Amino acid sequence: MKIIAQNSIRFTYQFPAALIQLSTRVRFLELSWNNGGYNIAKWAARKFTHISPVWFQFKPEVKQQKTCAIFGTHDMDIKWLADVHANNSEIKFVPRFIIDGSSPGDVKRFLYDEKWQTNCAQLIVNFIKKNKMHGAIVELWLQILSLVQAEVKEELIELISYWAELFHQNDLEIIVPLPAPLNDKNKPSGFVMKAELAKLMNDVDYVNVMTYDYSSDRFVGVSPFEWIQQNFEYILSEPSISSSKLLMGLNFYGYASQQSTMKAIVGRDFIEYLAAWSGALFWNSITKEHFLIAENKDFCVYPTVASLQIRLDLASHFNVGVGIWELGQGLNYFTCLL
């Protein structure tokens, strides 16, 4: 177990990435949903190829016609978009649109109604173009599977492929987040299979593999390195899948255990733990993450320069991009690595 001194983090984490020599830029998707993320995205805009503000939800509904309602427009910040663009004129804005608030019955009918799907996609496309953005992250795979509780993956693939065609006809990009195909035992979870991934990747611009979202019966880490590696080896063993369309999910958040209760933590929480708990950070050579352990055996796990760098190296090894969840949850100096 390697250890590092807490002060090496506590006294450098705010160092502004804008003052750091930029590294060679690859495909970096950054998702923003809090003020910290928005601020960092402005002064580190040159680090990213795509920015995805987490603003919008859509809901299939029937009023005078079958269409969709878009929610979250009050969160849109035009000035912020302009500020980011001023620092990187080549950056692409791809806000997230997540399906939300629909009944299982409505969603199932929506899946089998091409006209309804067309009306909904056209509404989103028109909204994106009106606001001079470049595409969208369309998040619906897990949401629909959990709502409908039925085998509808073929219909989902057809819907996403159809929407991708409409987006591309309007010179817009479409990115789809999907769960990691392997579970904590490194076996196929069934949520998305390799062949299904291959079909989707024929049509969309990128798939963001959610390797920042690890789940197991017993906590071992936030996003274990071997699990990430196994997932991308599994995905890329399919010859028809191009690494150039893949994004590796990278967490900028962590977890803390206090009195046997786990909770998600962000950068400011981690700094507070560093100040309150004596001792050092221990390197877990299996998950390749740093653990901070208190005298009473409470602990927290949070990204460090070392844990992030080894994952960025893995992304380079597989020639895939990186999708960060979420910039504002991290420490300022994390962007020095990008």
Set out the domains of the chain in order of their start, with CATH numbers. 23-253+302-337 (3.20.20.80)
282 vs 20, which has greater pLDDT? 282
Per-position b or e across 226-249, b if 16+ CB within 10 A of its CB: ebbbbbbebbbeeeebeeebbbbb
Averaged pLDDT, 138-166:
94
- Tens-digit pLDDT profile for residues 230-286: 999 999 999 999 999 999 999 999 999 988 789 999 999 999 999 998 767 899 999
Averaged pLDDT, 198-219:
95
Whether residue 31 has pLDDT greater than 70:
no
Q: What is the DSSP string of 38-56?
A: HHHHHHTGGG-SEEEE--E
What local confidence, expressed as pLDDT, does residue 150 receive?
Answer: 75
Residue 2 to residue 157: CA distance in whole angstroms: 45
In this structure, what are the phi and psi dihedrals at residue 30, rounded to the nearest 5 degrees? -120, 130
312 vs 37, which has greater pLDDT? 312
The pair of three-digit structure tokens given for residue 312, joined into one six-digit string: 């960025």
Whether residue 152 has pLDDT greater than 50:
yes
Residue 134 to residue 175: CA distance in whole angstroms: 11
Of all residues in the chain, what percent carry a pLDDT higher than 70? 90
Averaged pLDDT, 134-138:
98
| Region of residue 288 (phi > 0: left; psi between -120 and 50: alpha; otherwise: beta) | left
The pair of three-digit structure tokens given for residue 153, joined into one six-digit string: 């993956």
327 vs 90, which has greater pLDDT? 90
What local confidence, expressed as pLDDT, does residue 22 receive?
Answer: 31
- Tens-digit pLDDT profile for residues 66-92: 999 999 999 999 999 999 999 999 999
Contact 330, 267 (CB under 8 A): yes
What CA–CA distances, in Å, run from 174 to 168, 205, 294, 336? Answer: 8, 6, 44, 28
Instruction: Tell me the CA end-to-end span of the chain in Å, nearest whole number.
Output: 26
What local confidence, expressed as pLDDT, does residue 338 receive?
Answer: 79
What local confidence, expressed as pLDDT, does residue 251 receive?
Answer: 95
Averaged pLDDT, 307-324:
94
> pLDDT grade, residue 222 (50/70/90)?
very high
Contact 211, 248 (CB under 8 A): yes
Contact 246, 198 (CB under 8 A): no
Q: At what angle do helices 141-148 and 153-169 cross, to 10 degrees?
A: 150
In this structure, what are the phi and psi dihedrals at residue 114, rounded to the nearest 5 degrees? -65, -35
What local confidence, expressed as pLDDT, does residue 117 receive?
Answer: 97
What local confidence, expressed as pLDDT, does residue 20 receive?
Answer: 31
Whether residue 226 has pLDDT greater than 50:
yes
**How many residues are there in the chain?**
338
Whether residue 15 has pLDDT greater than 60:
no
- Tens-digit pLDDT profile for residues 87-128: 999 999 999 999 998 889 999 999 999 999 999 999 999 999
Pairing mode, strands 173-178 and 135-139: parallel
Q: What is the largest CA-CA distance in the chain?
A: 64
Averaged pLDDT, 205-214:
96
Return all residues near 293 (Cβ < 8 A) that are at least 6 apart.
Answer: 277, 279, 282, 299
What local confidence, expressed as pLDDT, does residue 140 receive?
Answer: 97
Averaged pLDDT, 203-220:
95
Output the CA angle 244-100-48, nearest 5 degrees.
Answer: 30
What CA–CA distances, in Å, run from 182 to 190, 214, 320? Answer: 8, 10, 18
For CA atoms 163, 165, 168, 174, give the dihedral sign.
positive
Residue with tokens 């979202």: 213
What local confidence, expressed as pLDDT, does residue 36 receive?
Answer: 79
What CA–CA distances, in Å, run from 178 to 18, 154, 164, 208, 245? Answer: 32, 15, 15, 6, 13
What local confidence, expressed as pLDDT, does residue 295 receive?
Answer: 85
Residue 307 to residue 224: CA distance in whole angstroms: 10
Return all residues near 213 (Cβ < 8 A) that are at least 6 apart.
Answer: 179, 180, 223, 249, 325
What local confidence, expressed as pLDDT, does residue 101 receive?
Answer: 81
**What average pLDDT does the chain have?**
89
